[in-house]
């Protein structure tokens, strides 16, 4: 059975009161490095004979990826922000078995008429929208940090650490990722880990939702509006400064002009985020999380390199990121440590 | 005489970008062609310089370990450094140079961690020397198309 036929069969079984389900378009969306992402256009008839059409997104587990992540946790973070002032695509179905599409996956509503690629932000024609979009980006990040944890669906599937445990838990995890996946010794990343352990940050004033990959390229936008925050596969509970620091990483300064994500002045971003979250930014703690971001990112690139080298995945993206980013990330870490 | 590997890889990249990319019907196919072309060009550069950069770095690390001997207070580490320096490469195959580089960098990680814990003028000087070598190692690895 073709993938398209399998998708039609799945939705015929899943959608209530649907028959004559037809896939009118099915495209794989480029860029997703943790899940295979497909855009699906469906047409079907309801019991009363009325024709319906709708677009969906399927996020399927890959054979291997840059990030080892649990689809249930990602799905639960989407659920946590559905109907909140943090815009996300509505999550619909989680399928943990491999019976339908060979591997587990989940389904979301598709948000149409918007852009996600960061390259479009750099187009001169987009310049009038950059400041407004940057403001919105950090307002939403402040809202994520402000969201009460109690009662969130994600709190049922993800551990909520004590404030003083946040930094150590993340650092232990990502050092473990480097241990598991490095293809060769990583003296710069190891020096970074030692520095982080010698200079721990103070506990956060509040344990919050941490998106885990908050940056331009990971949200849907139209002009100055953000319509959906995507890619929650690394979401967890922790220190909200982690997201702020990650968004500032020079690797995402696409225009190489010091602007976070190519659009935001970091001082403005900190001010907007602070107003919205009600939290104060400790510069030393922020620096800790910026150094940490370099170590974490290296863990991600090394995971991709390992998956490709071991033959667990043939995605060109994994080989490309290892050539394009592993050494560059080492340089960014040296800069963050004041050694370059 | 056959065309050199970098020439072939760069030609492959040009074909992917100029001839195949305009025919790509879907964004995923287009992105894969773009990534593949860039990857081929980076592999071309790496193929040409890999042996030179590995030989240069291996020699630099051997020299560093020779200097570090007077500072190191951990006898096991001292022995590991001595062993690493005492096993010169026996082949110019990139795989063999890589293998030796991995062994030397593994010792470098141990040496840097050890020096982190020492408090002397000589240790601080060695620490600076290690950081300089780490910075230099990223210069050796830099690819023209890579980020940064």
List the single residue in A with minimal CA-CA distance to B109. A187
Residues A133 and A248 in one domain: yes
The per-residue DSSP string of A211-256 comes to -SS-STTSEEEETTEEEEE---TT-EEE-THHHHHHHT-GGG-TTS
The dihedral sign for the CA sequence A229, A232, A237, A241 = negative
Residues A78 and A145 in one domain: no
Residues A94 and A227 in one domain: no
Residues A88 and A131 in one domain: no
Number of domains comprising chain A: 2
Whether the predicted model's global pTM rises above the 0.90 cut: yes
Chain A positions contacting chain B at CB under 8 Å are 27-31, 184-188, 190-191, 194, 250-251, 316-317, 319-320, 323-325, 327-328, 330-332, 334, 339-340
**Tens of pLDDT along A186-199?**
999 999 999 999 99
**Tens of pLDDT along B70-127?**
999 999 999 999 998 887 778 999 999 999 999 999 999 999 999 999 999 999 999 9
Q: What is the mean pLDDT of chain A?
A: 94
Q: Choose between B65 and A68: higher pLDDT.
A: B65
Q: Chain A within 8 Å of B36 (Cβ-Cβ)?
A: yes
Task: Report the CATH number at residue A194.
Answer: 3.90.1200.10
Residues A139 and A94 in one domain: no
For residue A51, give the H/E element and its range: strand A51-60
CA distance B3 to chain A (A): 24
Interface test with B, best of A324, A336, A340 (most B CBs within 10 A): A324
Q: Provide the token pair at A261.
A: 């994500």
Residues A78 and A212 in one domain: no
Residues A132 and A233 in one domain: yes
The complex's ipTM works out to 0.96
The dihedral sign for the CA sequence B12, B18, B19, B20 = positive
Last residue of a domain, one of A63, A91, A109: A109
Task: Report the CATH number at residue A30.
Answer: 3.30.200.20
Last residue of a domain, one of A58, A82, A109: A109
Integer Cα distance of B24 and A278 in angstroms: 48
Integer Cα distance of A202 and B97 in angstroms: 44
Residues A156 and A210 in one domain: yes
Residues A40 and A81 in one domain: yes
Range of the domain at A205: 118-336
Last residue of a domain, one of A64, A80, A109: A109
Q: Which of A184, A188, A316 sits opposite B35 (nearest CB)?
A: A316
Residues A199 and A292 in one domain: yes
Residues A35 and A179 in one domain: no
Q: Which residues of A touch B61 (CB under 8 A)?
A: none
List the single residue in B with minimal CA-CA distance to A317. B35
**Tens of pLDDT along B34-54?**
999 999 999 999 999 999 999
């Amino acid at each position: 059975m073709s993938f398209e036929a399998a998708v039609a069969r799945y939705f015929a079984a899943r959608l209530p009161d649907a028959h004559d389900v037809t896939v009118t378009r099915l495209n794989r969306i480029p860029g997703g490095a943790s899940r295979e992402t497909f855009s699906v256009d469906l047409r079907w008839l309801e019991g009363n004979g009325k024709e319906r059409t709708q677009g969906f997104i399927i996020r399927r587990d890959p054979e291997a990826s840059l990030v080892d992540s649990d689809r249930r946790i990602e799905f639960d973070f989407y659920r946590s922000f559905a109907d909140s002032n943090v815009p996300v695509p509505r999550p619909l179905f989680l399928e943990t078995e491999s019976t339908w599409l060979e591997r587990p996956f989940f389904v979301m509503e598709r948000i149409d008429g918007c852009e996600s690629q960061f390259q479009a932000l750099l187009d001169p024609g987009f310049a009038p929208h950059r400041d407004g979009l940057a403001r919105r980006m950090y307002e939403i990040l402040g809202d994520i940090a402000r969201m009460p944890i109690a009662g969130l669906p994600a709190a049922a599937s993800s551990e909520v650490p004590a404030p003083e445990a946040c930094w150590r838990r993340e650092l232990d995890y990502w050092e473990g990722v480097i241990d598991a996946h490095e293809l060769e010794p990583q003296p710069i990343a190891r020096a970074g880990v030692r520095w982080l352990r010698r200079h721990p940050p103070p506990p956060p004033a509040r344990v919050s939702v941490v998106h885990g990959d908050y940056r331009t390229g990971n949200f849907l936008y139209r002009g100055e509006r953000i319509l959906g925050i995507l890619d929650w596969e690394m979401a967890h509970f922790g220190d909200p400064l982690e997201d702020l620091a990650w968004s500032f990483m020079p690797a995402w300064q696409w225009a190489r002009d010091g602007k976070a994500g190519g659009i935001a002045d970091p001082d403005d971003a900190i001010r907007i985020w602070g107003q919205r979250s009600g939290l104060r930014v400790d510069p030393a703690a922020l620096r800790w999380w910026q150094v940490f971001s370099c170590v974490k990112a290296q863990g991600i690139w090394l995971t991709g390199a390992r998956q490709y080298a071991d033959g667990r995945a043939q995605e060109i993206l994994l080989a490309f990121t290892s050539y394009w980013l592993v050494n560059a990330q080492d340089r960014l870490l040296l800069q963050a440590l004041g050694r370059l | 005489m056959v065309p050199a590997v970098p020439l072939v890889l760069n030609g492959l990249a040009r074909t992917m970008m100029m001839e195949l990319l305009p025919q790509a019907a879907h964004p995923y196919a287009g992105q894969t062609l773009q990534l593949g072309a860039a990857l081929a060009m980076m592999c071309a550069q790496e193929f040409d310089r890999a042996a030179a950069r590995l030989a240069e770095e291996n020699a630099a690390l051997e020299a560093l370990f020779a200097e570090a001997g007077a500072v190191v207070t951990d006898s096991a580490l001292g022995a590991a450094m001595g062993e690493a320096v005492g096993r010169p490469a026996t082949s110019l195959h990139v795989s063999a140079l890589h293998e030796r580089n991995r062994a030397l960098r593994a010792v470098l990680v141990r040496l840097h961690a050890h020096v982190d814990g020492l408090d002397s003028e000589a240790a601080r000087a060695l620490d600076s020397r290690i950081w300089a070598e780490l910075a230099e190692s990223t210069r050796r690895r830099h690819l023209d198309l890579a980020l940064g």
